[in-house]
Amino acid sequence: MTVRMVVNGKQVERDVEPRRLLADVLREDLDLRGTHLGCEHGVCGACTVLVDGKPVRSCLMLAVQADGAEVTTVEGLAGENGELHPLQQAFSDHHALQCGFCTPGFLLTASYLLEQGIDVDDEAALREALSGNLCRCTGYHNIVDAVRDAAGKGK
Ligand code: FES
Ligand code: FES
Q: Cβ < 6 Å from ligand 2: which residues?
A: 97-102, 135-138
Ligand nearest to the CA of 98: 2
Report whether 119 contacts 147 (CB < 8 A).
no
- C-alpha 47 chain-centroid distance: 7
| pLDDT at residue 20, rounded to an integer | 98
Phi, psi at 35, each rounded to 5°: -80, 110
- C-alpha 121 chain-centroid distance: 22
From ligand 1's centre to the CA of 39, what distance in Å?
Answer: 5
Average pLDDT, the chain: 96
Q: Give nearest CA residue, ligand 2 atom 4.
A: 135
Tell which atom from ligand 1 comes closest to the C-alpha of 47. Answer: 2
Which class for 136: exposed (0-12), middle (13-18), buried (19 or more C-beta within 10 A)?
exposed
Share of the chain above pLDDT 90, in %: 95
Ligand nearest to the CA of 60: 1
pLDDT digits (tens, 9 = 90+) for 44-89: 999 999 999 999 999 999 999 999 999 999 999 999 888 999 999 9
Q: Structure pTM?
A: 0.96
Q: Give nearest CA residue, ligand 2 atom 2.
A: 99
| pLDDT at residue 152, rounded to an integer | 87
| pLDDT at residue 78, rounded to an integer | 94
Three-class DSSP category at 35: coil
| pLDDT at residue 153, rounded to an integer | 63
pLDDT digits (tens, 9 = 90+) for 98-114: 999 999 999 999 999 99
Q: Is 40 in the pocket of ligand 1 (CB under 6 A)?
A: yes
Does residue 118 or residue 82 have the better pLDDT? Answer: 118
